Amino acid sequence: MAPLPSLRLLWPSILLAITAILPPALAHSHINYILINGLLYRGFDPTGRSGATPANTIGWSTTADGDEFVPPSNYSTPDIICHRDGAPAKSHAPVKAGDRIHIQWNGWPQSHHGPVLSYLAPCGGSDGCASVDGAQLNWTKIDNSAPALLSETGGPPGNWATDVLIASNNSWLVGIPAGLAPGPYVLRHEIIALHYANKPDGAQNYPQCLNLWVEGETGGGAAVAAGATEVLPGAGATPATKLYRATDPGVSVDIYKTLTTYAIPGPTVVSGAAPVAMAEQKMVSLSRGDGTPVLVKGTQTVAFPSETPGGHRVRR
């Protein structure tokens, strides 16, 4: 009779078996929902695992293969704008200049260290951002999670903005600039994972787009809030296809070597932005219930009608 293999010898195959049955949710991620003053707005689920995304989602639909990433070789293609085949959500989450938005990711793998970035682009359409062409959007950076690499205590790969996000129940607070003019905007929120960035084309971008309606003082888009200035530089802002290059020092980087500095990819954060400090990035927001996403009609909004077809695809 053959002796039983020792547990020590079996252990690697047990580990492999465990890895094989782990739910794919542990790989990469997407935005589940956002909370604005405690009210919940659903994101787009590219995996379909949470069932069909509701028509009133504020998250742009994509044909991303589940929770996949966009590689540096796609930085100059439309894939980088709002992920692959990103198409605008019909509805918008109402928000006020000066609010903080709680962005809830569907988990984040600890190994995927890197920066967390947020951009805004205004939409000019009479339906807000509902039919905007992403290629026409000009993005202004409002948060780059500086310094992104917090410390290398204990050695590389160090402690990154993504570790802060994980410690905050996989969430990030995005400050909407107090001086932002009312109107429709797309929020482009993105994590760049650097765990393979020491290899060619190895960085992994996870861009996610959400429609916002920044309310004026009266709730409409016409009245500019007192003291509001044009925070976004308009034509001076950057199309998404010009944000990054594969050769950027913050994209092609070996995080397993001791780094003295980290150059956060993309343009600088606009003056007047209100990024939430690292120390305040904690899970402060719990859902109080569902928010009411809105359809934009010129300078007014109406609650998103529940029977409106959203036209969202779920890739299967």
Ligand X SMILES: *[C@@H]1O[C@H](CO)[C@@H](O)[C@H](O)[C@H]1NC(C)=O
Check binding of 286 to ligand X (CB under 6 A): yes
How far is residue 256 CA from its own chain's centroid?
25
Check binding of 110 to ligand X (CB under 6 A): no
Give the one entry of Cu ion, ligand X, none that residue 4 binds, where binding means its C-beta sits below a cut-off of 5 to 8 angstroms depending on kind: none
Q: Within a 13 Å sphere around the CA of 249, how many CA atoms are in the beta-carbon half?
A: 6
Give the one entry of ligand X, Cu ion, none that residue 79 binds, where binding means its C-beta sits below a cut-off of 5 to 8 angstroms depending on kind: ligand X
Nearer to Cu ion, 28 or 84 (CB): 28
Total of residues contacting ligand X (CB under 6 A)? 17
Check binding of 235 to ligand X (CB under 6 A): yes
Q: Within a 13 Å sphere around the CA of 231, how many CA atoms are in the beta-carbon half?
A: 31
Give the one entry of ligand X, Cu ion, none that residue 156 binds, where binding means its C-beta sits below a cut-off of 5 to 8 angstroms depending on kind: none
Q: What is the DSSP string of 229-298?
A: ---S-GGGSB-GGGS--TT-TTTS--TTS--S----SSSPPPTT--PPPGGG-S------EE---EEEET
Q: Strand 204-215 to strand 93-96: parallel, antiparallel, or no bridges (unpaired)? A: parallel
Nearer to Cu ion, 157 or 179 (CB): 157
Check binding of 126 to ligand X (CB under 6 A): no
For binding to Cu ion (CB under 5 A), which residues are involved?
27-28
Residue nearest to Cu ion (CB): 28
Give the one entry of Cu ion, ligand X, none that residue 28 binds, where binding means its C-beta sits below a cut-off of 5 to 8 angstroms depending on kind: Cu ion
Nearer to ligand X, 140 or 157 (CB): 140
Check binding of 74 to ligand X (CB under 6 A): yes
Helix, strand, or coil here: 212?
strand
Check binding of 169 to ligand X (CB under 6 A): yes
Helix, strand, or coil here: 26?
helix
Stretch that binds ligand X, among 71-79, 92-100, 149-157, 256-264 (CB under 6 A): 71-79
Stretch that binds ligand X, among 15-23, 36-44, 69-77, 90-98 (CB under 6 A): 69-77
Phi-psi region at 307: left, alpha or beta (left = phi > 0; alpha = psi -120 to 50): alpha
At its nearest, how many Å lie between ligand X and the CB of residue 136?
5
Check binding of 32 to ligand X (CB under 6 A): yes
Binding-residue pattern over the window 177 to 216 for ligand X, x denoting contact by CB under 6 A = ----------------------------------------
State the Cα–Cα distance between residues 71 and 144, nearest whole angstrom. 19
Check binding of 138 to ligand X (CB under 6 A): yes
Helix (H) or strand (E) holding 121: strand 116-122
Residue nearest to ligand X (CB): 79
Gyration radius of the chain's alpha carbons: 20
Sign (positive or negative) of CA dihedral 92, 44, 161, 116 = negative
Residue 230 vs residues 97, 178, 212: alpha-carbon distances, Å: 12, 10, 17
Give the one entry of Cu ion, ligand X, none that residue 136 binds, where binding means its C-beta sits below a cut-off of 5 to 8 angstroms depending on kind: ligand X
Check binding of 168 to ligand X (CB under 6 A): no
- Among residues 259, 265, 261, the alpha carbon closest in space to that of 247 is found at 265
**Contacts with ligand X, residue ranges (CB under 6 A):** 32, 68, 70, 74, 77, 79, 84, 104, 106, 124, 136, 138, 169-170, 235, 283, 286
